[in-house]
Amino acid sequence: MQAEYDSSSPDVMRMFYQRLYPFKSLFQWLNHEHAPSKMFTHREFAFTLPGDIYLRYNSFTSVDELKKQVVKLNPSRFEIGAVYTAMPRDRKTLRPGILQPTMRELVFDIDMTDYDAIRTCCSGKGICRRCWGFIAAAVDVLDAALREQFGFRHLLWVYSGRRGIHLWISDAQALALTDEERKALMGWLEVVKGGKDQTKKVNVRFGKGGYEVLHPALRSALDHLKNSFNNLILADQDCFAEEDGYKVLLELIPDKSEFDIRTYLQEDWAADLNRTSSEKWNDIKRGIKRETKDNDNKKTQLLAALEDIILQYTYPRLDAEVSKHRNHLLKAPFCVHPSTGRVCVPVDPVRVHEFEPENVPTVGKLLQELSDIPANGQEHHSDWEKTSLKPYVDMLDRHVIALMSERRQTKKEQSTSQSSHNSALPLSFCYS
């Protein structure tokens, strides 16, 4: 008989931390080199314990010390924060104002909650492969924008464990961004804005009429998102099949002329309840073509509105507050989501459309895979190699290798530059 492993059980979670959590890989990812540096020792960790106990400002001198404390506290999850001017655990002995964040990965959070108003396959806390398409489309656009427009290279995408995805950017330039610079960057990337009572959530055009020009970066994203819109919004989710859906669609068409195409479209659709979203979208395009053949200005306005609709339904919906502040904490990769038991594993952005949340390893599945391997009372650092967690840890390790390689190259260049500088100085200055 197979053992039952419940992720809510303290014994199960302790076993997971002792035998499966890849602490060494996590340390190297945060530290960028093998020997502990301030990138790790001055880093904040926070722990969530049973009874809604939340412990902030923890820090550690080594990865072994971190593992020992995690196993001892046995948190339901732990989070990673900024690198500070001093070790966060010493904050009570420091003068006021001394402890300040100095570095932090640039992080992003995309959650299915922000798509609840438009997805039709699931609701509430549910997620399936179909609505994962919203997350996948967002990853496509955001990954390309951050690499091509900002030049970032070290992007780590991590499944949140239930219905979202996190992004950590570890480039030196990203780590050094101030809060003000992060806010400016988010101001550029945030396209879909507004609460649930605001129908039009995309206002990114500029020009005489406010609809003529779309920035080239958004134009490039739009060209990609047209396929996502057709496949995901129109065909798969069929977002405009029901009255609630197509009424919102019609409200996004700014036609207030005497022959308002919205009026007759609504009448036609109300009379044909079986009309699909794809058919309704084609109805709109035909209506625009017919009503604007002698009015280029109106045609430009209405076609721009269709493009904005595509952006509104498919462009990444970002939790801006997560990204704006260096002192914001984010759940560590490879934690276990308490509701699903799934491990927060890395995701390859190239294959994000193939990713299936339901197939992510759970803590129960992983421990079952280890059930035939005796613990022998010894410390275990890499039992994950014997389980289905291995490809995901390998993915993080490949990411770490690139980070470390760049770090070594940077230190080598700095050393060469310093040597060249010293050689140009009088000997009395160099050895003073």
CB 335 within 8 A of CB 78: yes
Q: Using a pLDDT cut of 70, give the percent of the chain over it.
A: 91
* Contacts by residues 207-215 (CB-CB < 8 Å, ≥ 24 positions apart): 209/297, 209/300, 209/301, 211/300, 211/301, 211/304, 211/305, 212/300, 212/304, 214/304, 214/307
Residue 372 region by backbone torsions, left for phi larger than 0, else alpha for psi between -120 and 50, else beta? alpha
Catalytic residues: 44, 109, 111
CB 62 within 8 A of CB 55: no
Rounded Cα distance between 395 and 343, Å, is 14
CB 325 within 8 A of CB 107: no
Strand runs labelled E in 359-403: none
Mean pLDDT of 240-245: 95
Residue 76 region by backbone torsions, left for phi larger than 0, else alpha for psi between -120 and 50, else beta? alpha
Rounded Cα distance between 86 and 97, Å, is 11
* Contacts by residues 186-193 (CB-CB < 8 Å, ≥ 24 positions apart): 186/318, 186/320, 186/323, 186/324, 189/142, 189/145, 189/316, 189/318, 190/318, 190/320, 191/218, 191/311, 191/315, 191/316, 192/311, 192/312, 192/315, 192/316, 192/317, 192/318
pLDDT of residue 236: 97
Rounded Cα distance between 184 and 99, Å, is 24
343 pairs with which residues across the strands? Answer: 336
Rounded Cα distance between 226 and 281, Å, is 12
- For the chain, the C-alpha Rg in angstroms (whole number) is 26
Q: Which residues contact 209 (CB under 8 A, 6 or more apart)?
A: 297, 300, 301
| Local confidence band at 256 (pLDDT 50, 70, 90 cut-offs) | low
Mean pLDDT of 381-392: 92
Q: What is the pLDDT of residues 312-344, one digit of tens each?
A: 999 999 999 999 999 999 999 999 999 999 999
Q: What is the pLDDT of residues 205-239, one digit of tens each?
A: 876 655 568 888 999 999 899 999 999 999 999 99
pLDDT of residue 209: 58
pLDDT > 60? residue 1:
no
Neighbours of 180 (CB within 10 A): 9
CB 310 within 8 A of CB 229: yes
Average model confidence (pLDDT) for the chain? 91
| Local confidence band at 257 (pLDDT 50, 70, 90 cut-offs) | low
pLDDT of residue 239: 97
**Tokens coding 280:** 């309704």
pTM to 2 decimal places: 0.91
pLDDT > 80? residue 253:
yes
Q: Which amino acid is at 46?
A: A
Q: Which amino acid is at 424?
A: A
Question: What is the b/e burial string over 58-85, where b = at least 16 CB atoms within 10 angstroms of the residue's CB?
Answer: bbbeebeebbebbbebbbbbbbbbbbbe
